[in-house]
Structure 1
Amino acid sequence: MKNKEGWDGKLRVEPKAVIANPEALEDSDYSDPDAPPVDEIEADEDLLADEDLNAEDIDLVHCRISSIPALRLERFPKLQRLCLRQNQITRINFPPAVAATLTELDLYDNLISHVKGLDEFHNLTSLDLSFNKIKHVKNVSHLVKLTEIFFVQNKITRIEGLEGLTALRNLELGANRIREIENLETLSALEELWLGKNKITEMKNLDHLSNLRIISIQSNRLTHISGLSALPNLEELYLSHNAVTDLSGLESNPSLRVLDFSNNQVSHLEHLSALENLEELWASNNQLASFEEVERELKNKEKLQTVYFEGNPLQSNGPALYRNKVRLALPQISQIDASTFSLFLVVFFSGYDGQS
Structure 2
Amino acid sequence: MKNKEGWDGKLRMEPPKAVITNPEALEDSDYSDPEAPPVDEIDADEDLLEGEDVNVEDIDLVHCRISSIAALHLERFNKLQRLCLRQNQISRVDFPSNVAATLTELDLYDNLISHLKGLDEFQNLTSLDFSFNKLKHIKNISHLVKLTELFFVQNKISKIEGLEGLTVLRNLELGANRIREIENLETLSALEELWLGKNKITEMKNLDSLSNLRIISIQSNRLTSITGLSALPNLEEIYLSHNAITDLSGLESNTTLRILDFSNNQVTNLEHLSTLKNLEELWGSNNKLASFEEVERELKDKEKLETVYFEGNPLQLNGPAVYRNKVRLALPQVTQIDATYVRV
Q: TM-score range by the shorter chain?
A: over 0.9
Does residue 147 (structure 1) correspond to residue 162 (structure 2)? The answer is no
Question: What is the distance in 2 between the residues matched to 1:50 and 1:336?
Answer: 54
- What is the identity, as a one-letter code, of the residue corresponding to 1:285? N
Taking structure 2 as the reference length, the TM-score comes to 0.95
| Pairwise CA distance, 1:54 | 1.0
- What is the identity, as a one-letter code, of the residue corresponding to 2:232? L
Name the structure 2 match of 1:231: 232
- What is the identity, as a one-letter code, of the residue corresponding to 1:188? S
Kindly report structure 1 stretches of 4+ aligned residues shifted beyond 4 Å.
none
Which secondary structure state, in structure 1, belongs to the residue aligned with residue 257 of structure 2?
coil
Name the structure 2 match of 1:270: 271
Question: What is the distance in 1 between the residues matched to 2:18 and 2:182?
Answer: 39
- What is the identity, as a one-letter code, of the residue corresponding to 1:227? G
| 1:1-356 mapped onto 2 (5 Å cutoff) | 17-343=18-344
| Pairwise CA distance, 1:341 | 1.0
Which secondary structure state, in structure 1, belongs to the residue aligned with residue 316 of structure 2?
helix
Aligned alpha-carbon RMSD (Å) = 1.0
Question: What is the distance in 2 between the residues matched to 1:16 and 1:274?
Answer: 69
Higher gyration radius (CA): 1
- What is the identity, as a one-letter code, of the residue corresponding to 1:47? L
Which secondary structure state, in structure 2, belongs to the residue aligned with residue 230 of structure 1?
coil
The Cα offsets for residues 85-106 of structure 1, whole Å up to 9 and x where unpaired, read as 0000000000000000000000
Question: What is the distance in 2 between the residues matched to 1:241 and 1:15?
Answer: 52
The Cα offsets for residues 230-250 of structure 1, whole Å up to 9 and x where unpaired, read as 001000000000000000000
Question: What is the distance in 2 between the residues matched to 1:320 and 1:74?
Answer: 66
| Pairwise CA distance, 1:50 | 2.5
Comparing 50-59 and 82-91, the one that deviates more: 50-59
Comparing 43-52 and 241-250, the one that deviates more: 43-52
Question: What is the distance in 2 between the residues matched to 1:229 and 1:267?
Answer: 22
Taking structure 1 as the reference length, the TM-score comes to 0.92
Question: What is the distance in 1 between the residues matched to 2:314 and 2:333?
Answer: 23
Question: What is the distance in 2 between the residues matched to 1:340 and 1:101?
Answer: 48
| Pairwise CA distance, 1:17 | 3.9
Taking only the aligned residue pairs, the percentage that are identical comes to: 85
- What is the identity, as a one-letter code, of the residue corresponding to 1:146? L
| Pairwise CA distance, 1:15 | 9.6
Name the structure 1 match of 2:10: none
The Cα offsets for residues 242-272 of structure 1, whole Å up to 9 and x where unpaired, read as 0000000001100000000000000000000
Question: What is the distance in 1 between the residues matched to 2:84 and 2:19?
Answer: 43
Which secondary structure state, in structure 1, belongs to the residue aligned with residue 294 of structure 2?
helix
| Pairwise CA distance, 1:19 | 1.8
Change (3 A) 1:332 1:30: same
- What is the identity, as a one-letter code, of the residue corresponding to 1:325? K
The Cα offsets for residues 61-106 of structure 1, whole Å up to 9 and x where unpaired, read as 0000000011001111110000000000000000000000000000
- What is the identity, as a one-letter code, of the residue corresponding to 1:205? N
- What is the identity, as a one-letter code, of the residue corresponding to 1:284? S
Name the structure 2 match of 1:4: none
| Pairwise CA distance, 1:16 | 5.9
Question: What is the distance in 2 between the residues matched to 1:323 and 1:75?
Answer: 63
Question: What is the distance in 2 between the residues matched to 1:274 and 1:55?
Answer: 52
